[in-house]
């Protein structure tokens, strides 16, 4: 079935430390894996994504890794700052017909960066 598991549900780190959030997906047809950051009262904001033909992607302090064999992908945030505090969602695409798909989301991780 269509399922994305996300861990941990909450994560507290000290400013400057690294944070890692892990997700597992179920459908081997998934080929696109975005990560969203959601701040209180706002919509999910795309922060980084990775496609199935790539194993790792980095954008400044944020990196994402993908292991298609194990159906795992992870978000790594280095040198965390208080403004990184938010809920982070992983998602996996489930294609259906042509080039369109839908995103199935993980349950979210509340990241708290302590100053």
Token readout for 23 is 């997700």
**Measured from the CB of residue 21, what is the shortest distance to other proteins in angstroms?**
14
Are the C-beta atoms of 35 and 88 separated by less than 8 Å?
yes
Please give the residues from 74 up to 113 whose contact with other proteins meets the rule CB under 8 A: 89, 93, 95-108
Convert residues 36-75 into a mask of x (bound to other proteins by CB under 8 A) and - (unbound). Answer: x-----xxxxx--x-xxx----------------------
Quick check: 31 and 91 in contact, CB under 8 A?
A: no
Cβ of residue 84: shortest distance to other proteins, in angstroms?
19
C-beta separation of 7 from 21 below 8 A: yes
For residue 76, the tally of other CB atoms under 10 A from its CB is: 17
Residues that bind other proteins (CB under 8 A): 31-32, 34, 36, 42-46, 49, 51-53, 89, 93, 95-108
């Amino acid at each position: 079935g269509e399922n994305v598991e996300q861990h941990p549900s909450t994560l507290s780190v000290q400013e400057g430390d690294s944070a890692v959030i892990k997700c597992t997906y179920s459908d081997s047809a998934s080929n696109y894996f975005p990560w969203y950051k959601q701040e209180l009262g706002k919509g999910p904001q795309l922060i980084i994504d990775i496609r199935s033909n790539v194993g790792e992607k980095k954008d400044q302090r944020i990196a994402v890794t993908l292991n298609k064999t194990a159906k795992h992908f992870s978000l790594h945030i280095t040198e965390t700052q208080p403004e990184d505090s938010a809920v982070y969602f992983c998602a996996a695409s489930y294609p259906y017909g042509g080039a369109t798909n839908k995103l199935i989301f993980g349950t979210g991780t509340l990241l708290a960066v302590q100053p």
